[in-house]
Amino acid sequence: MAQTPSVGRLLLGGLYLCIAVAILVAAMFAVPSKKISQQSSHEPASSSVLLGGQEIFVEIVDTPALQERGLSFREKLDTDTGMLFIFADAQPYGFWMKDMRFPLDIIYFDQKRKIVDVWEHADPASYPKVFTPRASAQFVLEVSAGFFAEHHLKTGNTFELVR
């Protein structure tokens, strides 16, 4: 003859079930959700800059993950395109050519968006060399090698960000 569970056992089992559900619900709300900026940080935003009378279509990278990846693994960079690195403050940020497949001009700008230094024709074979500016920069623009000379840019030129 099968025994039927007592009312006390049923109540105790129900209590354990309720506690388990409450713990699961509390855990779901305790885990911090990602901020919108973190969710969208997987792909760079697009914009353009005006520099030396030239419009350059840029990908904007303003998170550490995007900045670390940069232009690595790309086959080429189209004419009049680039990548604009935006940092929270001006520092002598160093750049390397890890996993790059083409040379770049690396143009450094201060907080007033004025060119403070440039590395022309940074070669992928130069890795692990780090290209560091002689002055602190808050913005760094990477463009195809030769862009700086071709557009007659010089230290002191400024750029305008077009959103």
Q: Which helix (H) or strand (E) holds 162?
A: strand 159-162
**What pLDDT is stored for residue 163 in this prediction?**
74
User: Are 26 and 43 members of one domain?
Assistant: no
12 or 50: whose pLDDT is higher? 50
Q: Are residues 101 and 57 in the same domain?
A: yes
3: pLDDT strictly greater than 90: no
Could you tell me if 133 and 64 lie in one domain?
Answer: yes
Q: Between these two residues, 51 and 20, which has the higher pLDDT value?
A: 51
Report pLDDT for 61: 96
Tens-place pLDDT, residues 30-64: 433 333 333 345 788 999 999 999 999 999 999 99
This prediction has a pTM of 0.74
> Does the pLDDT value for residue 14 go beyond 90?
no
- Give the Cα separation of 23 and 47 in Å (integer): 46
Which CATH number belongs to the domain containing residue 95 in this structure?
Answer: 2.60.120.1140
Residues 96 and 128 in one domain: yes
Total structural domains within the chain = 2
Query: What does each C-alpha distance from 115 to 41, 99, 106, 142, 146 come to in angstroms?
Result: 27, 26, 11, 13, 16
Is the pLDDT at 25 greater than 60? The verdict is no
- Residue 33: its pLDDT value, please? 34
| Res 118: pLDDT | 98
What per-residue confidence (pLDDT) applies to 24? 46
Whether pLDDT at 12 is above 50: yes
65-69: Cβ within 8 A, 24+ apart: 65/41, 66/41
25 lies in the same domain as 56: no
Per residue in 65-120, pLDDT tens?
Answer: 999 999 999 999 998 999 999 999 999 999 999 999 999 999 999 999 999 999 99
Q: Where in the sequence is the domain holding 59, given as residue range(s)?
A: 39-162
- Predicted confidence (pLDDT) at residue 142 exceeds the cutoff of 90: yes
Q: Is there a single domain that holds both residue 22 and residue 93?
A: no
